[in-house]
Amino acid sequence: MHTIPNNAPTNVVALDPRDPEAGNASHSYAVQYGGPADVCRIQFQHGPRAVEDSVGGVFDDDLLAIIEDRLAGFQSGPYRCEENAEALDAVRRARAALGLRVARRVAKGVLGVNAEH
């Protein structure tokens, strides 16, 4: 378990160690946003979807899509600001990069498997 630095008044931790067999990433996180019982757990996909022993979960792009939606909402309302615009642009660039990664993995026939592209 390791703590993830952030800019919010919350505590974020990776609940599992980085997995060298799965790209060296952690897959389970918790965000404590209040008292001890105020915790949101985020489970990322761990392993290929249709493989026994894989753990189902969200993808990076799922969370970025949520952030994009929130920031776009703020930018269309009274909380429009330069910082939100910059963050929204960065999230959109991140999603585009992940989309290119998916396209490359599809083209190489390695989408959905633990393999380099």
Q: Where are the domains of the chain?
A: 1-58, 59-110
Predicted confidence (pLDDT) per residue in 59-77, tens digit: 999 999 999 999 999 999 9
Provide the pLDDT for residue 113.
67
Question: Facing residues of 19 across strands?
Answer: 25
Distance of alpha carbon 42 from alpha carbon 84, whole angstroms:
24
The pLDDT confidence band at residue 80, using thresholds 50, 70 and 90, is very high
Among residues 54, 71, 63, the alpha carbon closest in space to that of 112 is found at: 54
Residue 73 vs residues 8, 52, 59, 76, 86: alpha-carbon distances, Å:
19, 39, 22, 5, 14
Distance of alpha carbon 55 from alpha carbon 52, whole angstroms:
9
Provide the pLDDT for residue 51.
82
> pTM of the full predicted structure?
0.86
